[in-house]
Structures are given as structure tokens and as C-alpha cells.
Chains A and B, each alone.
Chain A
């Protein structure tokens, strides 16, 4: 049973029935799913959630599908890691990493939004799914489409990391690389979506797709024992996940399912920081930029939901920062060396921004902090290729290893056990 009442425009409040539509016919504002919260309140309990499998559908009353989910039965419920060593390195008491680098099946937070979008696309009767993507979304749509037996068209910028490209093509979709940046791809796809009768997960199915991002927030709350973190740092590209994490927290508070108060912070790369720039300037007006950063997965110069990121950050009393590519790479190394988690540049960005916000005193050192890691470093090896140590190459001779080991230990004699 579904608790969805329909779609409502976030700007003018105009209502429309459930359909594959993403913008308000009147004012072009974004359409958002409206739920019957009183009915949800009567049925949704901690016990009901706990009784369900550990995937993102355990919060299904707060997700916009009608029947049983078609895909994503193993997606979500990723680890919330208590990051003692990273916390010590940053000088804070309680630090957690919400680790979507191990999301199933394609190792990024996108498996959440795509699980919902494709389940909904199947409910609508589409036989072809598509997306405009910087890579992670492409990977997830390709994999879920393969599993569901749907046709799939993927549109990406032509300069992506090899891992992100092969991570799509392996599943057999048609992949089209556009000469241009993500914003060029996205503009073209808006026009293609208008012309071809496909389910573009992040265009005409977008109101349902974005709801999937709430599960990242639901899980953080559940994994903290239904207590909200005081501070949560989230990367911003198109601006989907941050407002939806905030919405997830507010839904849980309103439904009486969680307690606490949170501040939310946006993290961007300095080479593509239109939202952070607007935040710092104190304006609502987001000026688009031409991205220039190694953090390709968050290189969106014209963020669709940038305005709502600003709103969510300001309403919560949070803040945001941008960090350089060098700081992003340092963030990747720091997380890997302290917590054993290898993230892509988007995750390096949130780690580096968290560090910066702590150093600035924006985030206090004695309160609970969650760092969002939304993607996996094995897909973007190019980002760290020049900054990692090379292996020591020796012959398969004990004497050679003894010599190497002695050298590694400042000339101290190697001690055999």
C-alpha cells in the first residue's frame, strides 16, 4: 500500500497527480512527492522497520512506490562507521562516516535513488531508462537496468575516469559520451527527454528518484539509535542529497521516530563551488560556473537543486566550505590511512571540508559529526595516481627482502621471529 497523495510544486504549491513529470506546468518549479503523514504515523514504528530486511526499502512507507519494489533489494543499509582514528586526527570527540562507497551493486549513493527511480519507472510501464551522469549514476542505472531487463541509454561527459566509463559499459547499455561538461550533457538530455518516451531517472522521474536519497538520512538516524547527529557534512553536485537528508531527518522528527537537532553543511570543490559561493555571499542567486576540478562526480556548474541546498543549510543553522583539489586528494589519503575507507574525490571533498569547518570552529569538537562518503575510490584511480607510493620491486630472494627491510627500518637489523 502506498501513502503517496500526489505531487506538489515546491514553489507555487500547485498539485498534480502522480505521473512521470518533474516540473510544475505553471511555474517550472520542482515537483515533490506528498505523503499522507497521519496515516504513516499510525503504522510506521521502530519495530516494524527493525523487522524488515537490511536494505533501503525498510522505510518504504516514506518512499513513493505503489506496490512491491522491483529493484534495489540489496541496496542501502551501508555501514555507519565510528571513525575513532579520523576523529583523533581531526581533534573531535564523536565522528562517524556514513559509507556508501560499499553500496550495492555499484558502490555509490546513487544505488539508492536509482532503486526508487527504476522501481517507479517499471510501475509507470516504461521499457527504457536513461540518465545524464558524471559516472556514478550512469553505473547504477546501467546495473539496475540490466537486472530488470530494461533497455538503457547513458549520457556522460567525454572526459570521465576510465573506471566510471567501464563501470557502465560492462552492463551493456548504449553509452553516449558528449563532447562537453556535465551541464552540456544535462541540457541535451532535457531536450532528449522531451522528445523520446523514456524514463530519464534524473529528469522526468526525478521527483521519485530524489526521494531515494532520504534513505541515506533515515539510515544515519536508525544506526545512531534514532538520535540525529548534531552535525552532518554532505557533498553538493546537483544538490539532490543534501536537502533530502534534511527532509529525512525532519520527517523522522515529525513522525516522532527520532529525537535531536541537526545542522547540515555543504561541501564542494573550489573548482566548482557555485552553491558555497552563494552561501558565503548571503544570496539566493546561484551563478553557474564552468567546473575545473578533479572531483568530476560533483562537477556540476549549474546545480538543479542548488537553491534548496542553500535553504536546507540555512534553515538548519549549518554552513559550507569549498576545498582545493590538493586538499581533496589529502582528504582521500587521510580517510584511507585512518579508517581503511577508499573514497573518490567527492568523499575526499567532504573529509577536507569537515576538517576545514572544524578548524574554523564552525563545527564544535565535542559534538556528534557525520561525514558523508558517497562514492568509491576504486573507480577514480586517476585522482590519486600521482600521490600514492609505488611498490618496492625486488627479486624473489630472501636476501633482497632483508636488504630492503633493513633500509626501510633506518638501517636497523631485520629481526626474524
Chain B
């Protein structure tokens, strides 16, 4: 199982939980598992084509998956996955 950190806008799917568990060999599989446990959450993270939405960033152990293998980034037990709204920051 991997630990998944849920941002406020998605907590209505997780009964308010800040972090939940999910499994899958890749980020894509993990998102599918997340959707089985919390129906509807996938379409908030991914668009109709299955790509990660423009304003959502996914991190595996603190690294942006766009620097890894995108949705094919491997996940192993104990990994920490963060779902973070992209709109934040300013120097």
C-alpha cells in the first residue's frame, strides 16, 4: 500500500480524510485503485483522455511525476504520493 495525501478540494470524496491508502504498480494503477475506493475522484485528477489535468500536480516521494515516468511512474509499498493543486506560489 502507498500513502496518498489528499488536498482539501478532494476530501469530499474521502470523507474528509487528509491521507488515505491505495495500491497499484504505477501512478495510473494507483489512481484507478483510488477511484475504486473513492468513486469519482479519478475524473477530478485526470481529464477525459486520461491525462493529468493541467492544474493538478502529482508527486511520488516529493518528486514531480513529470520528472519521472509520468503516469507510468512505478509505485511500491510505503511510497508517499501527494496530489497538489498546481496553482500556488510566486517568488
Contacts and interface: CB of A to CB of B under 8 A. Distances in A.
Given A28-B56, A187-B59, A300 B88 contact: no
Interface in A172-196: 180, 182-184, 186-187, 189-191, 193-195
Interface stretch (B28-36, B62-70, B71-79): B62-70
Interface stretch (A301-309, A334-342, A400-408): A301-309
A194 B7 contact: yes
Interface in A223-264: 237-238, 240
Given A23-B85, A304-B89, A187 B53 contact: no
Given A28-B44, A137-B91, A237-B90, 15 more contacts: A22-B87, A23-B9, A23-B55, A28-B53, A28-B56, A29-B87, A30-B87, A135-B91, A180-B62, A183-B64, A191-B84, A202-B89, A203-B88, A206-B88, A238-B90
Interface string A97-133: 0000000000000100100000000000000000011
Interface string A54-96: 0000000000000000000000000000000000000000000
A304 B88 CA distance: 6
A contact residues, range: 35 or more
A297 B89 CA distance: 12
B91 A133 contact: yes
B16 to A, nearest CB: 12
A113 B86 contact: no
A190 B8 CA distance: 10
A197 to B, nearest CB: 12
Interface in A3-59: 11, 22-25, 27-30
Contacts of B5: 191
B contact residues, range: 20 to 34
8 contacts: A29-B55, A183-B64, A184-B62, A190-B88, A191-B7, A206-B88, A206-B90, A288-B66
Interface in A298-324: 298, 300, 302-305, 307
Given A27-B55, A187-B84, A307-B54, A182 B64 contact: no
A52 to B, nearest CB: 27
Interface string A187-216: 101110111000000110010011000000
Given A22-B85, A288-B66, A27 B53 contact: yes
Contacts of B86: 28, 302, 304
A136 interface: yes
A134 interface: yes
Contacts of A132: 88-89
Contacts of A135: 91
